[in-house]
Structure 1
Amino acid sequence: MPGTYRWVPACLSQRSIPPGALRVGTDADGDEIYAGRAHHEGDIVPAKVIPTKNACYISFGGEEVLKDQFEVLVPSMFAWQFSTNGEVPPGAVEAGSTADGEKLYFGRVNHDGCTTPGKIHPSHACCYYPFDGEERSSAEYECLVLM
């Protein structure tokens, strides 16, 4: 299963901060600060990344050092993947289990113009969902997956 975070390369000269980057602070003037890291003299050093200032800083040897090449911390991202008949794609989010130990997964279906969450029950080949006072089922659904 994929990790719970990843380090994504970024570069000030390209003014690129990856979507979903982890915000960790606020600068004195209110600018957002993101978690980063950068290589410096053989070390990999935690960094503060401030996109609006086009800056990435590390502290090293008593100084604040500006770095152009760095990585930004991006927490896990989730997505929806279409699936059918109780199947779940790699990275499917386990949301529960039956009394006898079968894993249940988080799914969603489109029903009467609504997008409604439910449980994917692999051995039943469907996604069950509560709707209008009843348990409904669909053999076609989307499954929540960790990217």
Structure 2
Amino acid sequence: MSGFLWQRSSIYSEFPYNGAVRAGVDQDGTQIFVGRAYHEGDIIPCKIIPEKQACYIAYGGEEILKNEFEVLRTGELSWQFATNGDIPPGALEIGRTTDGEPLYAGRCMWEGSQTPGKVQPSHGCLYFPFNGQEISVKEYEVLVLQ
């Protein structure tokens, strides 16, 4: 795996800002970073908000707080526009369902926040955690290796 690495972390430890991949900003201007967390056998892309000691995944219609996660660090990465479950060439596989489907990091603008989530190709959308819910959109950006 060249171009990036994962670092284990938790909401209780000091966040590794140096080299962490930024996904966007929350409504109040706090930075949001890319990560992944384990849940019910899946590895799911997550949004990490270190200033709020929070990490959230979108799962089963809900925004779920995770205490432990992995932070995506460093790399020649960029965001590319996609729609309807499409995945651009070079997309970085962030996670996987228990059924073996790859999951990708995506992001979108929503109510003044540039927020990340998971692109699940078989569902044709980006799911992201927001205000207690799992929300889906058909237009989004996907994280890719350059």
Q: TM-score if structure 1 supplies the norm length?
A: 0.49
The answer to which structure, 1 or 2, has the higher relative contact order (CA under 8 A, 6+ apart) is: 2
Q: TM-score if structure 2 supplies the norm length?
A: 0.50
Structure of higher CA gyration radius: 1
